[in-house]
Structures are given as structure tokens and as C-alpha cells.
Amino acid sequence: MPSGSPKKRLALGPLLLGLVTALAACVEPIQSGGVVMYGGEEARVAAMCRFRRGAEGKAGFCAPETEAPAAVTLARVEKEQRLFVGAVEAKAGDVLLDNGAIAAVISASDGALVDAADVEVREDALGRVSTCLGAPLGCLTGVTMSLSQGRDGSAQVLARGHAEGDPRVTIATRYMLVPGARVIVVSTLIASKADEPVVIPSLGDVVHWGAAEPVSAAAKGPPPPTAAAAKAPFVAALGHYVAYAIAPADDRPTLEIEGAARTVSLRFGRDVTLPPGGSTRYERLFMVAPRGDTLGVLTELALVREGRVPGAIELRFVDEAGKPLPPPGDAHVELLSPRDTLVPFLRISPFVEEAVVAAEAPPGAYELDLRGEGLRALARIPIEIKSGEVTQATITVGAETAPVPAPVAPEGGTPAP
């Protein structure tokens, strides 16, 4: 059985803009150790090269582009405008950001991020992400919006207002999207107009995942005590055809998470005291992955948090006799590695029309496994994924063996041997 060793270089188009280049040009610097800076045009190009739906098929792994990514579209939502499918909350007057890879809507009423989707699939599974400072200050309110477009094609939405519980605490949350990226950089500046020190209980957000199903990225170990905040490097949730993640944009390794199910409070700092006239800032990354699986989430995180430019996998499937099979729709291909607390898995679309399934993945050594309805991989396939390369693998698929029930002893007797 092929082990996945053949490789070929990704075909990279002449994309000229990287996420960090635009950040540095458009906004004041974020905290030390922020979003990774890539060196040289090749690394920036590789960072912008995205598999979109995990089923590019015969020829194209990263189709050559004739031009740099188009400028981000920045527009007010019009009345009765249907932007996505799903639980869409956008209303007339809200602001749409669209860079051709992802699209998102910022609410004009409270400055929350209320919709987000992959542009190709256009499924919105998000509830909302609101800037909140904890009790008694509450969330951002009294919002006024301003929009701006950068010369490099980036776009920003700035929501200014104050804390619900104290109008002397002003809040300004900025959303920035650059051409081609799958990450929105969210930055919040909190300032005090009070004559005495003010304590900010939480630098954070309240997240309503909506139709997206949360997945745990907490480190392995015993659960935290009741009512204690869990810690994780990021939070994520999966829709049917889209996935989301939120992570710190600086060098802190974890954030704090409180709550359960589809509503959680995220904390990037706690009990920060502002002197009279003082201010503080926190930044986070909001990611939109192209499929409803963890592989898309972890690929984006590895890219923007660690600077690990993705490689890719190209998968084919055969039966026990070696006869080619079509990709098993809705099956999960797991990329097993001892370093991951959240297992990367690729969800194969039920609508794949080609014999090949391809998707980006973080570089590293893995073992491929497959699980589906009544299906399994007959053996795990060891592979190594390298940045900028496509690693091919063939998975032999067989029927899932039903578990053998334990023998039941007749009443008053002993089990049969």
C-alpha cells in the first residue's frame, strides 16, 4: 500500500500581500510578539495559498493566480439583502467585510461580529461575538461606526461606544481584514474618563456560537474546579461547512474560558486597573476555516500564530483488493499526532465529484486514519507534511467491524466458554 511519500510542489500564484504586511501598514502596532511576520515574498505567497473546500480535484492544488487578491469590499448592508445561508443576523445599516475568501458582518447597533462565512460556501453558523468587560461594566453599547479603506486593499470597521455599566469607560473595537486572509484581527482599546482608578474585570468577549458546535482545545489534564475558568490556546466551533476559532493575537499561550455549551465568556486579561485618564488594549484573531472540520481550524492557527506555512495532503481511496473507490462522503480523515490536544480531522464533503480529496494541513509527522458510517481504514498511514508541498496518500477502506457482544449467562448459570 502506498505510504504517502510522493510529493510535489504547490503551484503558487503571484499574491503580493501578507497579513502582517498589511497590519504594519494600516494600524498602530499590536502588542509585542503579535501576528507572525513572514520573511520574503515566497513565504508571503505560500501563506496566502489556500485550499478552499477540501476537494479541489484533478489539476489544482493551489491554482495559479494572474493577479494579487482583490481589495476588501467594505459596504453597508442594504434592506432585505440576503448575504448567506443559515442563521443570518445582518440588518440594514450593518457593515459587510468581504475579501473574496471570507465575509463577515459587524452590527451597527452594538459593534458585535454577528455573521461570518466562507465566500464560496456562504454558510453562516455563527451567533455573535460581543466586546464585554465583565460585571458590573458589561458590554459595548452606545455605538457609532466609522469605516476606512487602506491603500493596500485592506479595510477596517471601528465601533466606538462605552461600557453599559459606566459611561466613563469608553470602548473602541476595530475589525481589520486584508486581501486573501482568513483571519479578522480584532483590537479593543479601553479608556477611562473617571477621576479615580477604575478596575476592568475582564478584557474579553462573550461568544454565542449559534448553530456551530463547540470543540474543546483545552490541554490534557484534570478538569478545572467547579466555577473555575478553563484555559486553552484557542476556542473553536464547527458548522456543517464552516468552522470558527478565536485566539490571542499576542504571545500569550492561552486564554480563559467560562461558560458551557454554545455561550462562553473569553478573557484575555483580568482585573486591570486603569488610572484616571488611563487606557489598555487587547487583540485577538477571529478565524474562518473553509470546511466544518478541525483541520481547517488548526491550519489557520498554525499559520497565523506560529508562522508554520501549510503543506497539503492529496488523498485517494481503494478497497481491500486495491480497486479505486470514490471519496467516502461525510467520513472523517484524522491526522493523528501526539503533539495535538485537538485532533485534526478532514471532513470529506458528501458532494465530492472527483476521485481525489485535497486539503491544506500544518507541516509535521502524522498517521492518517479514517472513520465513517460503517467504514474504517484498514491500516493507519504514516505521512510527513512539509510547507509548500503536496503529500499524496492512499487509504485502504474496509467495513467497520461490529463489536462482538459479551456472552450473557443464563439465570443462575455461568457464561459459556
**Alpha-carbon span 155 to 70, nearest angstrom:** 12
How high is the pLDDT of residue 13? 31
Upper half-sphere CA count for residue 21 (Cβ side, 13 Å) = 19
Count of beta carbons in the 10 Å neighbourhood of residue 160: 17
Q: Where are the chain's structural domains?
A: 69-305
Least reliable range by pLDDT among 24-38, 73-87, 253-267: 24-38
List, for residues 341-375, the tens digit of each pLDDT value: 789 999 988 877 778 888 889 999 999 999 988 88
pLDDT average, residue stretch 19-32: 38
pLDDT average, residue stretch 187-209: 96
Longest dimension (CA), the chain: 84
**Alpha-carbon span 53 to 61, nearest angstrom:** 11
pLDDT category, 294, cuts 50, 70, 90? very high
Closest alpha carbon to 170 in 196, 197, 148, 142: 142
3-state secondary structure of 404: coil
Overall pTM > 0.95 = no
**Alpha-carbon span 311 to 139, nearest angstrom:** 40
Topology of domain 69-305, CATH: Beta-galactosidase; Chain A, domain 5 (2.70.98)
Least reliable range by pLDDT among 60-64, 144-148, 382-386, 412-416: 60-64
User: Angle at CA 31, nearest 5°, toward 277 and 238?
Assistant: 110
**Alpha-carbon span 375 to 134, nearest angstrom:** 47
- Determine contact, residues 297/206, Cβ cutoff 8 Å: no
The residue to which cell 510529493 is assigned: 7
- Determine contact, residues 256/267, Cβ cutoff 8 Å: yes
Instruction: Classify residue 411 as exposed, middle or buried by CB count within 10 Å of its CB (0-12, 13-18, 19+).
Output: exposed
Closest alpha carbon to 133 in 105, 176, 95, 173: 173
Amino acid identity of 408?
A: V
3-state secondary structure of 369: strand
